[in-house]
Amino acid sequence: MKKIQVAALALLMVTAFSCKQASKEEQKTEEAVATYSIVQDSTNVRFTAYKTTEKKPVGGTFKEVELSYEGGETPMETINGMQFTIPVNSLFTNDTTNTRDPKIIHFFFDKMMETQSIKGTFAFDANQKCSVKLTMNGMTADLPMTYVISDDGHVNFSGTMDLKNWNALDALASLNKACEVLHTGPDGVSKTWEDVAINATVFLKKM
């Protein structure tokens, strides 16, 4: 009888331990469930380039942005490590003559290596500073970005590209040559600036 009691006690202890372990695993799984995701088609990427020595802005956007990310428990976890691919032929500058966009693609992007797309990965350091490892013209370089996360779930990024960091000055010279007259100011100098302002927005929702 004593042996039966000991065996029963051992079985009870094993069962309790197993249940406890299962409970911990379930809790762990629940804690790992993503609670934020990016709203489909909410991403917007805009750029501002500059022409003439007066530095007149020329704005544009990309109509297509492909995102890859893992949902997280916070907005920061969701956007940290987010990857994107932008097809350059989705460029749009709202030019009524329909000549500017093809010119930028042909005389700028087509003069680079691996011209089909611009790619990048977002990263945040311990101080929550943001940068993008941006790949263009066969080069990968860091693009520092500032960001603001609003209460409604919008995340706004801004930064400035220096095209020489992506060996793109030859492509820029090609574009300036093609747009020589249009990029000439009152001083008679034709100029296309190498710095390009970048702004982007994503919209996060809680699942």
Q: Write the CATH number for 141.
A: 2.40.128.110
Q: 18 and 116: one domain? A: no
Task: Give the range of the structural domain holding residue 91, as residue numbers without chain letter.
Answer: 34-206
CA-CA distance, 151 to 172, in Å (whole number)? 39
Q: What is the pTM of this model?
A: 0.81
If the chain, 207 residues long, is cut into consecutive pieces of 10 residues, what is the mean pLDDT of each piece? 45 47 48 78 95 97 95 91 96 93 96 93 88 97 95 94 98 97 96 97 92
What is the amino acid identity at position 171? Answer: A
Q: 167 and 88: one domain? A: yes
CB 203 within 8 A of CB 42: yes
pLDDT value, residue 118: 97
Q: 17 and 65: one domain? A: no
Indicate the number of domains in the chain. 2
Q: 24 and 70: one domain? A: no
Q: 142 and 170: one domain? A: yes
Q: 123 and 152: one domain? A: yes
Q: 23 and 39: one domain? A: no
pLDDT value, residue 9: 42
Q: 84 and 109: one domain? A: yes
Q: 87 and 5: one domain? A: no
Residue 123 CB: number of other CB atoms within 10 A?
Answer: 16
